[in-house]
Amino acid sequence: MRCEEAQELITARVDNELSADERASIDAHLKTCADCALAFEQESALKRRLQASSREVTAPLALRRDIESKLAGGESTHAARFGAWFEAFSWRPAFALAALLIVAASLLYVKWPAPNVGLAALATHQKILGGKTSLIRSNDPIEVRRELARAVGERFQPVALDFSIMKLYPVAGFIETIGGREVLVTVYQGDGPAITCFTFLGSETDAPAEAEKFYDADMGLNFYSFSRDGLNGVLHREGGVICLLVSKMAPADLLALLRGKSAHA
């Protein structure tokens, strides 16, 4: 077999798309041709890299929610396009049921107090650590910030934090609704305890009642620190935006990080 003839067979060998005869033929050639054997190894490595790279790409959360909402018969921001969705399905009973559920949920919402965002954030961080939360992993932290800000209509954006000195890097972001409020969540992982940053519109009353309050006279800012079940949170307000960090990291270290961030803001 000539090397020119072997090239496509090498490709198909990498993809396991050869018949037994073809496979035997190319394998025999690879044993005697160092150049083609190297080409096979290179193409195999490239395929693995392409596959790994591809797994990093997932549907943006806003797109997923939009489509899943439409698939479930919810509201559409693309009414004209999705007219076709509803022509396809006759879901009036489903709409009626959905309306009842919305009314029931509204009643429950009025009756029950909204959960404390600080404590809910601890629970979210625990789920992330336990791998129970699906994350949008991204190669581009700037794009994650932009995506999250866009998802809340640019009303606010995730606080920019640089933990690279601790070898922690933003690896994922998502939006969580807590007590009816949209919370932007950015996950920092790397060497050492992971940190999750929560950004949302709120006030200092979003700190749990049990939180300790620190007043930084130099900065003129209040900081709140709280802990539960081995997780620690620190929170402070900049204007109408709350920044909350949650980690297993010691409260004093977290507080130092947040104060450092505010000092450079």
Partner 1 sequence: MDTTCTLYYNGPAVSRSDVRQHVQGQERERFSSEIASYLDHLYRVAFHLARNDDEAQDCVQETCARALSAYGQFIPGSNLKAWLTRILYNFFFDSYARNKRVVAADDLVDSANQDKDFWETVSADQAGPEKQFLQRELGAKIGAALNKIPEEFRTPIVLVDMGDFSYAEAAEILCCPIGTVRSRLSRGRKLIHKQLSGYLGKSGTER
Q: How far is the CB of 259 from partner 1 (least distance, A)?
A: 23
Q: How far is the CB of 2 from partner 1 (least distance, A)?
A: 15
Find the binder of partner 1 among 3, 24, 28, 67 (CB under 8 A).
67
Per rule CB under 8 A, count of chain residues that contact partner 1: 53
- Give CA torsion, residues 162, 163, 167, 171, to 10 deg: -70
Residue in 70, 60, 68 with CA at minimum distance from that of residue 175: 60
Query: Angle at which helices 79-88 and 61-71 pack, to 10 degrees?
Result: 40
Window 12-41: contact mask with partner 1 (x via CB under 8 A): x--x-x--------------------x--x
Q: Would you count residue 46 as binding partner 1 (CB under 8 A)?
A: yes
Strand order in the sheet with 136-137: 136-137, 168-178, 181-190, 195-201, 241-247, 231-238, 221-228, 212-216
Q: Would you count residue 170 as binding partner 1 (CB under 8 A)?
A: no
Residue 45 one-letter amino acid? A
Find the binder of partner 1 among 5, 28, 64, 155 (CB under 8 A).
64
Q: Would you count residue 60 as binding partner 1 (CB under 8 A)?
A: yes
Find the binder of partner 1 among 66, 118, 196, 231 (CB under 8 A).
66
Cα atoms in the 13 Å half-sphere on the side-chain side of 67 = 5
Q: How far is the CB of 211 from partner 1 (least distance, A)?
A: 30
Contact stretch for partner 1 (CB under 8 A) within 81-89, 152-160, 196-204, 246-254? 81-89
Find the binder of partner 1 among 20, 34, 79, 84 (CB under 8 A).
84
Q: How far is the CB of 255 from partner 1 (least distance, A)?
A: 23
Find the binder of partner 1 among 48, 92, 155, 213 (CB under 8 A).
48
Query: Tell me, what DSSP letter sits at residue 219?
Result: T
Find the binder of partner 1 among 50, 101, 103, 265 (CB under 8 A).
50
Q: How far is the CB of 59 from partner 1 (least distance, A)?
A: 4
Alpha carbon distance 85, 71 (integer Å): 8
Residue in 148, 156, 157 with CA at minimum distance from that of residue 176: 148
Q: How far is the CB of 167 from partner 1 (least distance, A)?
A: 4
Q: How far is the CB of 239 from partner 1 (least distance, A)?
A: 30
- What is the SS3 assignment for 225? strand
Query: Tell me, what DSSP letter sits at residue 153?
Result: T
Beta strands in the chain (DSSP E): 136-137, 168-178, 181-190, 195-201, 212-216, 221-228, 231-238, 241-247
Q: How far is the CB of 174 from partner 1 (least distance, A)?
A: 14
Q: Which residue has the tokens 């081995």?
A: 230
Residue in 247, 135, 138 with CA at minimum distance from that of residue 198: 247
Q: Which residues bind partner 1 (CB under 8 A)?
A: 7-8, 10-12, 15, 17, 38, 41-54, 56-60, 63-64, 66-68, 70-72, 78, 81-82, 84-85, 87-89, 139-140, 143, 167-169, 171, 189-191
